[in-house]
Amino acid sequence: MMLVSLNTTDTSAESAAIVGGKAASLARLYKIPSLQAHAPISYALTTSFFQPWLDVLTTSNEYIESQNDGISKDRLEVVCNSLKLSCKTLALNSEQDRALKQISSKVEQDFKHGLAAVRSSAVEEDGTDQSFAGIFETRLGVRASHLEDAIRECFASKFDPRVLHYMTTQNGSGSKDDIGFSVVVMEMVDSLVAGVAFSANPLNSDRDECVIDSSWGLGESVVDGSVTADRFIYDKVKKKLVHQTIGHKALEKRLDLANGQILSLNVGNDRCDSFSLTTKALDELVESVCLVEEEYGYPVDVEWAYTQDTLVLLQARPITTLFWIDDFMMTKPGEQRILYYDYNIASEATTTTPFHHMDMSL
């Protein structure tokens, strides 16, 4: 099984071992009845599709050398570039070729405007322990005729030095052990407004607050920091907006429907310093993000987009940066916070590293 629809109730689509972390999360989103209308058309090229390529590359001299702990930074760069270059010419077996033709046909016939977004979905990606956020390659506005190139480019990014470094630092044993790889091919969303929503406040770890960053156009301008996004802080318990800040949004990234290119356009003065979300859209977004959190059972980071009149949830993953606190010490939603204070930390100076900001803000 090399191609799986993520808009299905088939449980195999929720298996990270088969479709990777990002794709499994998208399949899980679709299974929430009230959110099905907000899930984009998506497919996954499974780990089985990429395994033949991994079998070739992971037995190569370059890959074996890249796993050497003593390899220099410059040499690792050379070796990884060689591996990435090899990805362009790896042979397709008959099953891979059939799966590629199937997904190309779906992009051409079923995707609005015939454009796709090609995104990584490694087995451990978007997990509770490791997110791999922003490390793998993403291709936007891809037509069926260029889909194979985009998939190969996305796969090649698996061998980037940044990925090996991330795996080494995130793994407690310092291991660079290989991980399975999958790719999501989803309908490209021509968004007017987009951004990121957190079902808990990542600034102070408050589980009662939802934080939303928003800007005009595609969400890439929010994620890559090319604009100062609007920020909304919303009390989920009292269901009201408690703080909002207008960002200076001088640019917006928009999709050129004719050729799939991503354009950076100047934003007029009437929108540059105006809020990008209406109250109605904000309320709908918060409600949807809270539903995702409830279904997943933990605070989530959600990438979202609005077209003319439709909210689309592009991705959901755990928030991995919240300050951890034991369940028995956690106050219930809406209740007054309890301050826990360790006198030994203040009196004995038992740490030489900075405190997490939540420790001091209370």
H or E stretch at 64: helix 61-66
**In this predicted structure, what is the pLDDT of residue 360?**
43
Q: At what angle do helices 147-156 and 94-110 cross, to 10 degrees?
A: 120
For the entire predicted model, the pTM comes to 0.86
**In this predicted structure, what is the pLDDT of residue 343?**
64
What ranges in 87-146 are assigned the alpha helix state H?
A: 94-110
**CA-based torsion, 250, 251, 252, 254: positive or negative:** positive
Q: What residues in the chain have per-residue pLDDT under 70?
A: 125-134, 168-178, 340-362
**In this predicted structure, what is the pLDDT of residue 136?**
85
Closest of 211, 163, 185 to residue 7, by C-alpha: 185
**In this predicted structure, what is the pLDDT of residue 169?**
64
Q: How far is CA 188 from the centre of its chain?
A: 15
Over residues 171-225, the pLDDT tens digits come to 544 445 557 899 999 999 999 999 999 999 998 889 999 999 999 999 999 988 8
**Helix, strand, coil percent content, the chain, rounded in steps of 5:** 40, 20, 40
Quick one: CA torsion of 125, 126, 131, 133, rounded to 10 degrees?
90
Closest of 23, 18, 45, 3 to residue 152, by C-alpha: 45
- What is the DSSP secondary-structure string of 267-308? PPHHHHTS-SS-HHHHHHHHHHHHHHHHHHTS-EEEEEEE-S
**In this predicted structure, what is the pLDDT of residue 313?**
97
Task: Give the position of tokens 């079902």.
Answer: 199
CB atoms within 10 A of CB 105: 11
Q: Please report how many Cα atoms fall inside a 13 Å half-sphere around the Cα of residue 32, on the Cβ side.
A: 20
Give the Cα separation of 37 and 30 in Å (integer).
8
**In this predicted structure, what is the pLDDT of residue 270?**
87
Residue 283 to residues 215, 277, 280, 358, Cα–Cα distance (Å): 16, 10, 5, 27
**In this predicted structure, what is the pLDDT of residue 173?**
41
Structure tokens at 64: 């074996």
